[in-house]
Amino acid sequence: MNEVADGTELQQIPFNQAAIEGRELEYVRSSIESGRTSSGGPFSARAGGVLAEHTGAKEVLLTTSCTSALELSAMLLDLKPSDTVIVPSFTFTTTALAFARQGARLIFCDIEPRTLGLDPQHLAGLLDETVRAVVLVHYAGVACDVEGVRKALMDWPDVAVIEDNAHGLFGSWRGEPLGSLGRFATQSFHETKNFVCGEGGALLLNESRDVDRARVLYDKGTNRRAFMLGQVDKYSWKDTGSSFGLSDTLAAYLFAQLEQRDVIQGKRRALYERYERSLAPLAGELGFEVADLPSDRGSAYHMFYLLLSDHRSRNAVLDHMGAHGIQPTFHYVPLHSSDAGRSFAARSTDCPVSEDISGRLLRLPFYNNLSPTDADRVVASFLDAVSVGARP
Ligand X SMILES: Cc1ncc(COP(=O)(O)O)c(C=O)c1O
Q: Which residues bind ligand X (CB under 6 A)?
A: 65-67, 91-92, 94-95, 137, 164, 166-167, 188, 190, 201
Q: Give min distance, CB of 195 to ligand X, in A.
A: 11
Helix H segments across 56-143? 66-76, 93-101, 120-126
Task: Name which of 23 and 190 has its Cβ closer to ligand X.
Answer: 190
Task: Name which of 177 and 200 has its Cβ closer to ligand X.
Answer: 200
Q: Give min distance, CB of 366 to ligand X, in A.
A: 13
Can you tell me the distance from the alpha carbon of 149 to that of 123, in angstroms, rounded to the nearest whole number? 8
Q: Give min distance, CB of 170 to ligand X, in A.
A: 16
User: What DSSP string describes 223-284?
Assistant: -HHHHHTTSSSS--B-S---B-BPPHHHHHHHHHHHHTHHHHHHHHHHHHHHHHHHHGGGHH
Task: Name which of 206 and 381 has its Cβ closer to ligand X.
Answer: 206
Task: Name which of 164 and 248 has its Cβ closer to ligand X.
Answer: 164
Task: Name which of 164 and 219 has its Cβ closer to ligand X.
Answer: 164
In 3D space, the residue among 301, 300, 312 whose CA is nearest the CA of residue 360 turns out to be 312
Task: Name which of 227 and 330 has its Cβ closer to ligand X.
Answer: 330
In 3D space, the residue among 318, 275, 295 whose CA is nearest the CA of residue 143 turns out to be 295
Question: Any residues with CB less than 8 A from the CB of 36 and at least 6 apart, and which?
Answer: 42, 248
Query: Does the CA dihedral 368-369-371-372 come out positive or negative?
Result: positive
Task: Name which of 101 and 190 has its Cβ closer to ligand X.
Answer: 190
Q: Give min distance, CB of 51 to ligand X, in A.
A: 14
One-letter amino acid at 297 equals: R
Q: Give min distance, CB of 341 to ligand X, in A.
A: 15
Residue 312: C-alpha distances to residues 31, 160, 315, 359 (Å): 50, 39, 5, 8
Q: Give min distance, CB of 137 to ligand X, in A.
A: 5
Q: Give min distance, CB of 110 to ligand X, in A.
A: 16
Q: Do strands 201-205 and 59-63 pair parallel, antiparallel, or not at all (unpaired)?
A: antiparallel
